[in-house]
Amino acid sequence: MLPPPPGTNGGGSPGNDGTAEATEFMAIAANPTLPSFTNAYGETVQRDVPDQLATVRRAEQKLAIAQYLAPLGLTLTEPLILDVVVIIDATGRAEVLPDKTTVLAGSLTPSQAGAVAAKIIETWQFNPTLDQGQPKAFDYTIRLTLRPLA
């Protein structure tokens, strides 16, 4: 996700090499999982687990590069996989913690990865966490995969 490659004009039109740049991409979010926490000694910290974990309402979405990536100065030429830490509130809205986003595949800086994750995930809806039958805010990790569409 860097500036358009040589031979393309960055506008979705064929470049000098006859290939067209993708104008859309598929964003796929795995259901949220509980992040693991460690203390200063590297030991896993036990935490309360709610009765029902949050779930993503629509796991796959086709999105426009012009709306989500271009404003950040990015293109998508290869799959990108991010682990994104979020807080899903009691209404099912996600707040991304951009500085906690990890790039698993692809070539983004940490700040670019956090910005992309926030721009995409914060528009999605989730079924909230339930604890003793009541919705509550809870933190999760979401694996986000972005794939260019030809």
Cβ pair 1, 75 in contact under 8 A = yes
pLDDT of 6 = 39
Gap between the Cα atoms of 105 and 81, Å rounded:
5
Across 7-32, average pLDDT: 62
In the predicted structure, residue 2 carries a pLDDT above the cut 90: no
Q: Running DSSP on this structure, what letter comes out for residue 99?
A: G
Nearest to 113 by CA among 76, 138, 140, 88: 76
pLDDT digits (tens, 9 = 90+) for 23-65: 889 898 988 887 766 656 666 666 677 888 899 998 899 998 8
Phi, psi of 98 (to 5 degrees): -55, -35
Cβ pair 118, 111 in contact under 8 A = no
pTM across the whole model: 0.77
Distances (CA, A) of 34 to 19, 50, 52, 59, 106: 41, 10, 12, 17, 24
